[in-house]
Amino acid sequence: MRKLFFCFGLVLGLIQGLSAQKSSQINVEYADFSDINQTEIPDALLLRGNVRVSHEGVVFTCNKAYFFQKENYIKAFGDVQMVQGDTLFLNSKYAEYNGKVKQAFATGNVVMRSPEATLVTDTINFDRNVQEAFYNSFGTITNKENTLKSKSGRYYAKEKKFRFLTAVTITNPKYTIKSNHLDYYTNSGHSYLFGPSTITSKENYIYTEKGFYDTKKNLAHFLRKSYIKYKDRRIEGDSLYYDRNREYASATNNVKITDSINKGLIKGHYAEIFRNLKKQTDSIMITKRAVAITLVEQDSMYVHGKKMLITGKPGERIVRGFKNVRFYKTDMSGKCDSIHSDQKKALTKLIGKPILWNYDNQMTGDVMHLIGNNKTEKLDSLKVLNNAFIVSKDTLGTGYNQVKGQNLYGKFKDNKLYEVDVIKNTEVVYYMRNDQHELIGINKNVSSKINMTLDKNTIDTITFFNTVDGDIYPEKDLPENARKLRGFIWRGDERIKSKDDIFPPEENELDAKIQAQRKAEMAKEDKPLTPRKETLDYDKNNPKPVVK
């Protein structure tokens, strides 16, 4: 027995002596038993029991090993472990290591651990020269926050990064990420997505083809064909920022927010969205060529404001627009300083110098209310409060039909204004024509109330009530200056005739600039995102506490 230990000591001494002469030689530190059998394993040293070998900062332990000294190569069997400092631990049933090229291979219940994460797979290769490990045999990576599963992957030890170029899934208690190209940094939890990728949770579904997601802070930034989809909304934009903890999102350039329940669409070049999941409410602020589009009986209403706010529950939305509000619908258009539309009450208020065109009729007043019918989804009535004034051009001549009063109340039929009541201090100038469209006189009078019916957007009948004072004048007997009521202003040149007219020139210029930038960006070669400075400097900015 003493001879055996003596011989084993001589063998270890010889090996260690060789190791001292060559720094790249694998060093056998310990084994319960060693033997050389040229018949069974030519040119190999057989090591058994508590085997421990090292090579340039890496320590291997196992139950049995074949050490090929000439090749500087070792095969390890049973409870194999490779330890590199305090940063990398690799366990397996079998492993091989080449000291000349510093490359390792491990298979059989492979477990690779770092302080930040653990990888479980069947087979792995590790190149110490570049500090990279890769596997092609399905793997599961776990850390405190997430579980990652992929068909293959590569680990960069220096960067503490996994790269996946085939199907990978990150599972978190709050969401699931799926991608075919993902870089995941184990220390920071930062994920970089490239190519078609999805993030699914109870609250929403996210799609992107280029993006960043901080799995620790639940912050994200998405580019290229990205959108966030809720049960009732879909948010798109060239650039999306998302904070899951606050349920806040912002979108920049070519923003489009689709409301699937209310059949509405909001567009612009910058938007912010807040959601209250408990109350099931949300709020949206949108600006930079903002427009809200709603469907009204197979026709779209376009509303623009320099800034627009949309708040409330589905079915109870409130839309507000500020500064130079303009709107357009096939049979109606107008503008005002601000607008307030309450979906539940079906009430839209035009506030601040409002003007409304319904076909050929121009209406003005201090305040206007458009009232709808939620059951029929059609316009029901109109109120013009204080200084109501309705003007339309005479169908054949150069004059103007005018009705003026304190308040105006109109009724719609199939979204067309068909009856109007003007009350209190009413005045009229009306060009009367016969069935042959010949002018028979100009009716100018005052009364306490006027009722008008309209047919095909022209006045069909006009009825005066109480204290009528006036007459029908032949055209030659009524001077030009008497044919216009006090306060008359014809604003036909301001009329909004298309959906494109709702935008001021400066916002169209901004849109053209953004579209040109987007076209140039899309023409460039699509590449993955460059890692952020906060990712690369994470360990430096988040040092581990020193244990005393």
**Residue 453, CA atoms < 13 Å, CB-side half-sphere:** 4
Pick from 129, 136, 179, 176: which is nearest to 156 by CA?
129
Residue with tokens 């009528």: 468
- CATH entry, 24-111, from 2.60.450.10, 2.60.40.3880, 2.60.200.20, 1.10.730.10: 2.60.450.10
pLDDT of residue 18: 39
Is 136 a residue whose pLDDT tops 60? Answer: yes
pLDDT of residue 409: 93
Distance in angstroms (rounded) separating the CA atoms of residues 63 and 61: 7
514 φ, ψ (degrees, to nearest 5): -65, -40
Cβ pair 350, 337 in contact under 8 A: no
Is 15 a residue whose pLDDT tops 70? Answer: no
With a CB cutoff of 8 Å and minimum separation 6, the contacts of 546 are none
Residue 107 banded pLDDT, cuts 50, 70, 90: very high
- By CB atoms closer than 10 A (0-12, 13-18, 19+), residue 278 is exposed
pLDDT tens track for 381-420:
999 999 999 998 887 878 898 999 999 999 988 777 888 9
Mean pLDDT of the chain: 87
Q: Measuring CA to CA, how many Å separate 98 from each of 57, 155, 266?
A: 14, 19, 62
Distance in angstroms (rounded) separating the CA atoms of residues 248 and 452: 51
pLDDT tens track for 145-170:
899 999 999 999 999 999 998 899 99
Distance in angstroms (rounded) separating the CA atoms of residues 248 and 134: 37
Cβ pair 198, 214 in contact under 8 A: no
Is 478 a residue whose pLDDT tops 60? Answer: yes
Is 512 a residue whose pLDDT tops 70? Answer: yes
Considering the chain, what percentage of its residues have pLDDT values greater than 90?
58
Q: Which residue has the higher pLDDT, 295 or 410?
A: 410
With a CB cutoff of 8 Å and minimum separation 6, the contacts of 338 are 305, 320, 321, 322, 323, 325, 351, 352
SS3 279: coil
pLDDT tens track for 2-14:
333 333 343 344 3
Is 364 a residue whose pLDDT tops 70? Answer: yes
**Residue 172, CA atoms < 13 Å, CB-side half-sphere:** 22
Is 304 a residue whose pLDDT tops 50? Answer: yes
Rg (CA), the chain: 40
pLDDT tens track for 200-226:
999 899 999 999 999 999 999 999 899
Count of residues for the chain? 548
- What residues form DSSP beta bridges with 135? 153
Please report, in angstroms and rounded to a whole number, the separation of the first and last CA atoms in the chain. Answer: 46
Distance in angstroms (rounded) separating the CA atoms of residues 430 and 401: 5
Distance in angstroms (rounded) separating the CA atoms of residues 498 and 493: 13
Residue 546 banded pLDDT, cuts 50, 70, 90: low
Q: Measuring CA to CA, how many Å separate 195 from each of 162, 164, 180, 192, 223?
A: 17, 12, 7, 10, 11
- Mean pLDDT for 452-465 is 78
Helices (H), 41-112: none
SS3 3: helix
Pick from 170, 200, 171: which is nearest to 182 by CA?
170
pLDDT of residue 296: 65
User: Tokens at residue 504, please?
Assistant: 């001021």
pLDDT of residue 11: 39
Report the DSSP pairing between strands 416-433 and 400-413: antiparallel
pLDDT of residue 7: 34
Is 231 a residue whose pLDDT tops 60? Answer: yes
Pick from 243, 245, 240: which is nearest to 255 by CA?
240
